[in-house]
């Protein structure tokens, strides 16, 4: 089978790192399974060395972005139509697999023009996310973004969503349930595996004899790190042999530096900043308890790759009981859950895990087994292939 996958993420090595990694992983898994899968990044990526025109645009951007951001996204469909037409004619795929992205419809049109089976990957509700989070300050083109999202989904032969919450969201908007298939995110058990503490990092950060509570992240606003500060201060004071390693740059690093890297315990708050994804396993190896303190939102549709990678490394996960997290983590079996609205629960559970290596080992070992058996990219590829096969069979049958 030949699969062409169009992905419209911008800055794949920056703000969209997690989504970019996911695309690379499942495409690699499809190819390992004996098929031909092409990954096509469709948005122009930032240049390492900005040109003069880049600098001019950067200067004008603060004044014009509010008005031009959405029309610009919409207009990009015009060059995409021709470029993607040439890609599809060259690759001759059996399946066109398209990531659902704000204002893009070129894949939909081309699937109809070329009579190609059309499968949509919905990792998020783009119109909702844009209006609620990232694009609140832009001038909107009415409800056009929502209409285009739903048009892509209605036209799809099948839809892959990352969670039951997202599936139900689209069912409420009229998308047939039978078209949607839930495939959660996953981890690579070969890249993320149990390993001794990295000697170089342990020496650099003086981790000998320390129990390390860790967190790794890049998103701002969704991470829930604000809930950590009071608890971290308590643990640092109550458990002198405990330290916190909080990996992530930008505003997250600034927040931790201002809130935690102060006073007598400053030396036990380690802030390495942003690290390449390939280096993350080394930092994970140094951690004993790993945190995913997501905010408890009513509409939590995400599928946390962070949690799967934590589990794959055989670490003891302590995460908010929200959305899909509560379906993946079985409290006290392959990790631990907490309610951020329950006063003191996060502090109590971190303390208990810091104090018991045996409990940590037991939960981490089960987490690793679950990744090997269920939540890995090769399993995800087999689920995708079953969906693609069903789409092709239904097409053949008229």
**248 and 321 belong to one structural domain:** yes
Is 269 within a domain? yes
pLDDT above 80 (res 52): no
**205 and 350 belong to one structural domain:** yes
**21 and 155 belong to one structural domain:** yes
Average pLDDT estimate for 96-108: 97
**117 and 131 belong to one structural domain:** yes
Strand order from edge to edge, sheet including 95-99: 36-41, 2-7, 95-99, 118-122, 158-161, 180-182
Is 279 within a domain? yes
**243 and 349 belong to one structural domain:** yes
Number of folded domains in the chain?
2
Is 264 within a domain? yes
Average pLDDT estimate for 24-34: 98
Is 333 within a domain? yes
The pLDDT assigned to 155 comes to: 97
Provide the phi-psi class of 284: left if phi over 0, else alpha when psi is between -120 and 50, else beta. Answer: alpha
Domain boundaries, position 169: 2-186+376-396
Percent of the chain past pLDDT 90, that is, above it, reads 78
pLDDT above 80 (res 171): yes
**80 and 219 belong to one structural domain:** no
pLDDT above 80 (res 61): no
pLDDT tier for residue 156 given thresholds of 50, 70 and 90: very high
Instruction: Check residue 332 and report its DSSP letter.
Output: T
**216 and 171 belong to one structural domain:** no
pLDDT in tens, 137-150: 888 899 999 999 99
- The CB density around residue 187, as the number of other CB atoms within 10 Å, is 23
Q: What CATH number has the domain bearing residue 348? A: 3.40.50.2000
**169 and 225 belong to one structural domain:** no
Average pLDDT estimate for 63-74: 83
The pLDDT assigned to 207 comes to: 96
pLDDT in tens, 211-254: 999 999 876 666 788 888 899 999 999 999 999 999 988 888 99
**28 and 152 belong to one structural domain:** yes
pLDDT above 80 (res 59): no
User: Do 338 and 320 contact (CB within 8 A), yes or no?
Assistant: yes
């Amino acid at each position: 089978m030949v699969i062409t996958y169009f992905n419209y993420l911008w800055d794949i090595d920056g703000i969209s790192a997690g989504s970019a990694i996911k695309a690379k992983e499942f495409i690699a898994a499809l190819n390992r399974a004996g098929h031909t899968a092409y990954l096509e990044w469709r948005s122009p990526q930032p240049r390492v060395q900005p040109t003069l025109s880049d600098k001019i645009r950067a200067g004008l951007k603060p004044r014009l972005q509010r008005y031009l951001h959405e029309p610009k996204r919409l207009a990009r469909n015009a060059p995409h139509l021709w470029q993607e037409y040439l890609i599809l004619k060259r690759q001759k795929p059996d399946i066109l697999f398209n990531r659902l992205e704000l204002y893009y419809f070129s894949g939909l049109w081309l699937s109809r023009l070329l009579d190609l089976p059309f499968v949509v990957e919905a990792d998020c509700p783009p119109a909702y996310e844009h209006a609620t989070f990232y694009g609140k300050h832009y001038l909107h083109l009415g409800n056009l973004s929502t209409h285009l999202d739903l048009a892509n989904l209605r036209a799809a032969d099948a839809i892959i969503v990352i969670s039951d919450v997202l599936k139900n969201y689209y069912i409420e908007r009229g998308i047939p349930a039978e078209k949607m298939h839930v495939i959660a995110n996953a981890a690579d058990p070969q890249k993320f595996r149990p390993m001794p503490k990295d000697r170089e990092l342990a020496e650099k950060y003086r981790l000998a004899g320390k129990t390390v509570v860790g967190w790794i992240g890049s998103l701002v606003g969704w991470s829930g790190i604000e809930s950590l500060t009071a608890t971290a201060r308590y643990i640092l004071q109550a458990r002198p042999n405990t330290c916190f390693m909080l990996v992530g740059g930008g505003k997250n690093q600034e927040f931790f530096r201002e809130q935690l890297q102060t006073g007598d315990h400053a030396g036990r708050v380690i802030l390495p900043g942003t690290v390449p994804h390939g280096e993350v396993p080394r930092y994970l190896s140094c951690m004993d308890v790993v945190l995913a303190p997501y905010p408890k939102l009513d509409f939590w549709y995400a599928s946390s790759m962070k949690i799967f990678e934590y589990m794959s490394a055989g670490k003891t996960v302590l995460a908010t009981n929200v959305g899909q997290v509560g379906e993946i983590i079985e409290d006290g079996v392959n990790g631990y859950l907490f309610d951020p609205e329950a006063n003191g629960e996060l502090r109590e559970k971190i303390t208990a895990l810091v104090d018991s290596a045996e409990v940590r080992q037991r939960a981490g070992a089960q987490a690793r087994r679950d990744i090997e058996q269920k939540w890995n990219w090769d399993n995800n590829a087999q689920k995708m292939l079953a969906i693609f096969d069903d789409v092709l069979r239904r097409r053949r049958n008229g």
